[in-house]
Amino acid sequence: MIAAIVAVVLIAREMVLSLPADARPAEWIASWPASARLVGDQAMRRLGAGAASGQATSPATREAFARLARLDPLSPQPLLFDGALTLQAGKPKDAERQFAAAKALDPRSAAARYFLATVLLGQGQVGPALDELAMLKKVSVGGGNYDAAFAEYAKSSGNIPAIEAFLAKHPEHRAPMLAALASDPANAGLVLRLAGPIDPAAPPPDPDWRSTLLLGFVNRGQADAARLAWRQMVGAAAAGDGLYNPRFLSSTAPAPFNWTLTSGDDGLVEPDGTGKLNLVYYGRHDSLLAAQTTLLAPGRYRLSLDVAATTAHSAMAWSIQCQPGGQQLAQLSLDREGAGPVAIEFAVPAGCNAQRFDLRGMAGMTESTSEMTISNLSLVRLP
């Protein structure tokens, strides 16, 4: 019943969108009372009203579709209507033929492809059904969140071979589907399996589902799982156990184990490509300028860097916190004039499986711009 109602909505929406932009129902009735378009609209209104109220298909509705078939033999809608009745009567193979015939009349009919996908899926023809839904996304005006539907099917059906075959045939759906799955950390194993081999040198996927998955592990305290996923994404040599990319070079590695640099109304953060990071903070609001998460083992560490300030004072500081939970481990102020090294030692306690390094701008009583360049960033474990 739900599938039938959704299909009715799709057909009605398709017909409304095909009307001229300046069309008015009264004008259609007055100027062309026997038009196939008007008859189709009336038939759809009857069918939609019946579906909404749970009533059986009335003789008037059947006659409306029969009249539409006489007025416009090339319209797919009568075949869709007949196919829906055939399916309701328990004859899926016959309904499949009717829906396929409707699609042949109008290959861009979203409703025809939806109905056909529904009946194919009901018969266990998963591959062809997913193909129809993939094409449905392309032909639907305004589209729909079909990738979320694919993700839900992948999660609920357990039919992983069919999903893998679908993604091999339609690779444009891989990243959106994985992004939908990665929003729930419980899907992590499925995400990594469907992702397949990951080329660390390849451009980031769009949308980039990797950061969502890694953050899910971190927020659940699953540091080992995060480390394994990170290695799969970036390469076996990148363990995530220290600061990654301390020279702020261009990299396709995902956050949170790579840098997130934030430029906007509150400041500018610009790597110069040689290992230095140029910073301008306007002092208007507290602002996160740079961030990275690490997976340090318990012990003592030393964070050091060189600072070259071009303003008298700097309202910027490093903050190191446990994740999840936010326990403060250390804070290193960069409020200095001129150039020179700064450093701080801190301890990572047992149970603090992930740590977040934030470079923040901290607004004061008065608005003041801070400018500096940082370089030679280093994080080492102390004996």
pTM of the predicted protein model: 0.68
**pLDDT average, residue stretch 246-254:** 91
| Full set of structural domains in the chain with CATH | 2-144 (1.25.40.10), 260-381 (2.60.120.260)
Please write the tens of the pLDDT for every residue from 342-366. 999 999 999 998 999 999 998 875 6
In this model, does residue 41 exceed pLDDT 60?
Answer: no
* H runs (alpha helix) in the chain: 2-18, 25-31, 36-53, 59-71, 77-88, 92-105, 110-122, 126-139, 146-157, 160-169, 174-182, 188-195, 210-219, 223-234
In the chain, what is the greatest distance between 2 CA atoms, to the nearest angstrom? 90
* Mean pLDDT computed over 202-207: 89
User: What would the pLDDT profile of 63-83 be if each residue is shown by its tens digit?
Assistant: 666 766 676 677 777 777 777
Query: Residue 181: how many CB atoms within 10 A of its CB?
Result: 25
The mean pLDDT value of the chain amounts to 79
Residue 376 near residue 307, CB atoms below 8 Å: no
Taking the C-alpha atoms of residue 10 and residue 111, their distance in angstroms, rounded to an integer, is 6
d(CA 193, CA 55): 45
Highest mean pLDDT among 69-73, 112-116, 219-223 belongs to 219-223
pLDDT for 207 = 92
